[in-house]
Structure 1
Amino acid sequence: MKLPQTGGCLCGAVRYEITGPPLVTYTCHCTVCQRLTGSAFSSAVVVAAEAYRFAGGETLSFERLADSGRTVTRWVCAGCGTWICNGVRPGTAPPGGFVAVRAGTLDDTSWLRPTAHFWTRSVQPWVVLPEGDTCFETQPEDGLAWLRSIGNHQRRSDH
């Protein structure tokens, strides 16, 4: 994978740039993601907030209450409705935070290989998860702590 990575929505109005390596690429097999995507799962690339630059276009937010009780915010292009990312408003996440960018919105998806899988209790019976990947029946108890541990591990390996 080469950096920076770029991406955007279907109509081209919303664009972004990723300047740092992803912490993880994952799939979510929850029934909400299945309904949102019209597929068996959604996939995302989690990057450090400071490595994600939003380059314009109008977005709209949609919020929903997750099973965990927290509010999940999904950002979509105001023009075509493409789901761009989750979290705070694109381009405004504080340093130390994370952005979950929808993997299918990347211009180059050839390097994507999910290694974590959430909500596997809802996985479609025909989906085979690769042996050795990290799988969660629902989601990590403390997803932010889990992401930070991955980020800390990667920083130690880089040195």
Structure 2
Amino acid sequence: MSDSATSRTGSCQCGAVQVQILGKPMEMHLCHCATCQKLSGSIFGAYVTVKDEQLTITVKPGLNEDSTLKTYKDTSGASGNANDHTFCGICGSPILNRSPLMPTMRVVPLGILEPYPLSEDGTAGTEGQEGDDGETWEMKPRMEYWCVRKRKWVGETGAELVFKRQPDTDEDLKKLMTIFGLG
């Protein structure tokens, strides 16, 4: 299951929370909904979806996990689902999102993952992570959600599935299941 050539590590802004994804993510997507705009502090959120067993989250030794990892249950989304948003209680960086519609999957903000390995002095390097196949982490988003809220000046991504809002037809859901390897 895990493929070290496609593993990625990352952290929150202050470094108190570390994440590791083993193997290839199921997909990468963009979301332009109001919730993702507020969570990211930007005009859309960029995420990778992984299976539970691919994701490891650790808190820096000496820190209390309960006060460092916080979860906000969001019931304000247009989907009507109560999504959990986990974040660092020290610096506020988003760590992951959980949806009741995908109980065995986690959605990780792409921005907390390191695009390059750290050099020996701890600074960011400029090359892909060791053994990276060059495509897995530079992939384009396969889906875009809530494009009705997309800023007009944001270009086309070439996403395979583009939704004005949430996917809601049986055909849309079937396409999603195929992308997630569940259909």
TM-score by length of 2: 0.70
The Cα of 1:38 is off from its aligned counterpart by: 2.5
Match status 1:76 vs 2:76: no
Counterparts of 1:131 and 1:50, CA distance in 2: 29
Counterparts of 1:50 and 1:145, CA distance in 2: 24
Q: What's the counterpart of residue 180 of structure 2?
A: 151
Q: What's the counterpart of residue 118 of structure 1?
A: 145
Percent identity (aligned): 29
Please list, as runs of the form range in 1=range in 2, the aligned pairs for 1:23-102 lying within 5 A after superposition: 23-57=26-60, 58-65=68-75, 66-87=77-98, 97-102=104-109
Q: What's the counterpart of residue 134 of structure 2?
A: none
| Structure 1 unaligned residues grouped into runs of 5+ | 89-95, 155-159
Amino acid at match of 1:43: A
- CA displacement 1:51-79 (0-9 Å, x = unmatched): 11112252101111122221011010011
The Cα RMSD (Å) is 2.7
Q: Please say if residues 140 and 159 of structure 2, whose CA atoms lie closer than 8 Å, have aligned partners that are also in contact.
A: no
- Greater Rg, structure 1 or structure 2? 2
| Structure 2 unaligned residues grouped into runs of 5+ | 61-67, 117-136
Counterparts of 1:73 and 1:128, CA distance in 2: 30
The Cα of 1:113 is off from its aligned counterpart by: 2.5
Q: Please say if residues 140 and 146 of structure 1, whose CA atoms lie closer than 8 Å, have aligned partners that are also in contact.
A: no
The Cα of 1:39 is off from its aligned counterpart by: 1.5
Moved over 3 A (4+): 142-148
Q: What's the counterpart of residue 122 of structure 2?
A: none
Q: Please say if residues 146 and 165 of structure 2, whose CA atoms lie closer than 8 Å, have aligned partners that are also in contact.
A: yes
Q: Please say if residues 73 and 87 of structure 1, whose CA atoms lie closer than 8 Å, have aligned partners that are also in contact.
A: yes
Counterparts of 1:71 and 1:153, CA distance in 2: 22
With over 3 angstroms needed to count, the CA separation of the structure-2 counterparts of 1:35 and 1:152, relative to structure 1, is closer
Q: Please say if residues 141 and 157 of structure 2, whose CA atoms lie closer than 8 Å, have aligned partners that are also in contact.
A: no
The partner residue of 2:161 within 130, 134, 139 is 134
Match status 1:17 vs 2:20: yes
Q: Please say if residues 20 and 48 of structure 1, whose CA atoms lie closer than 8 Å, have aligned partners that are also in contact.
A: no
The Cα of 1:152 is off from its aligned counterpart by: 2.3
Counterparts of 2:105 and 2:32, CA distance in 1: 20
Q: How many residues align?
A: 147
